[in-house]
Amino acid sequence: MMRAKRATDVIIAGTGPAGLTAALYLARADREPLVIEGDQPGGQLTTTTMVENYPGFEKGIMGPELMDVMRKQAERFGARFKSGTVNDVDLSGPPFKITVGEDTVECQAFIVASGASARHLGLESEEKLMGKGVSTCATCDGALYKGKRVIVVGGGDSAMEEATFLTKFADKVTIVHRRGELRASKAMQKKARDNDEVNFIWDTVVEDILDPEKDEVTGVKLHSKKKDETTQMGIDGVFLAIGHEPNTAFLKGHVDMDDHGYIRCERDCCRTSVDGVFACGDVMDPKYRQVATSVGTDCRAAMDCEALLSA
């Protein structure tokens, strides 16, 4: 028997590609989903410039524009939006109780699409130049740096993979690592070391990124920890590969997660350890983190959610 429709059948946490895809599917199913915008409405794509690897846009599309189009499409079919961030949940239902600021709303199903945040260096110049020469995704932005000079900050598997990928486009790729040895797996270290186009600068941190006043990256200030001296290096792009943090703190103790905070889902679907709670996009994907993969998982989550509500 179909469950009686309530004021809020579904709440979706997040308005990145994953959250908006789920909103579109469930809105078209006449569920009028309530979408919680989060502290960065539109997700990480709002900090990028040109997106060229998402199907359907021959000449590419600006990240903020893509998110705006996705939002309007979901709104057209009846998706509703609420500003704020989910700060607490009660998943003992259904109905589930989702707390946003001082408000608590109930739902029969809950989709977590709150994404993951790339770790930053904490520099003021870094934030000003994000999407203007500073990037957290080589797969997304690498093709924009043909014939240019870039650095990759980090020493793990992601840094090795990003640096190797960037050699397809950039004229010079340099890995800047704060330690004297890499923490990447031996296989990934070998892959990077064996690539003659990848260079290394050891025991060094990025002290500043130039030049916010020009609204583009022109270089970096590097501080050598061993020599205790700062030098300047001319480059065109900075790729941050120092890890991501899934935005799942509000779910700790409520659903099954791995040691890094990524939500564990059942194989081949987006169901979590709690019946009626689904996860999609970067909160359950520590590997790919692409627009297309986020959209794909949230399509599945939305369809599974609709099947549950219609049971």
Residue that is written with structure tokens 């900075």 in the block: 238
Q: Which residue of the set 9, 107, 140, 236 is catalytic?
A: 140
| Whether residue 299 lies in the annotated active site | no
Q: Residue 216, Cβ neighbours under 10 Å: how many? A: 14
Residue 145 to residue 149: CA distance in whole angstroms: 8
Q: Which residue of the set 9, 107, 141, 304 is catalytic?
A: 141
**Which of 221, 163, 175 lies closest to 202 in space, CA to CA?**
175
Q: Are 14 and 64 in contact (CB under 8 A)?
A: no
Q: In angstroms, how far is CA 91 from the centroid of its own chain?
A: 25
Q: Are 286 and 244 in contact (CB under 8 A)?
A: yes
Residue 240 C-beta-side C-alpha neighbours within 13 Å: 21
Residue 93 to residue 101: CA distance in whole angstroms: 20
| Whether residue 285 lies in the annotated active site | no
**Which of 2, 25, 9, 28 lies closest to 105 in space, CA to CA?**
9
Residue that is written with structure tokens 């203007």 in the block: 132
Q: Which residue of the set 137, 270, 280, 305 is catalytic?
A: 137
* Cis peptide, bond prior to residue 33, ω within 30 of zero: no
| Whether residue 141 lies in the annotated active site | yes
Which residue type does 306 have? Answer: E
User: Which residues are catalytically annotated?
Assistant: 137, 140-141
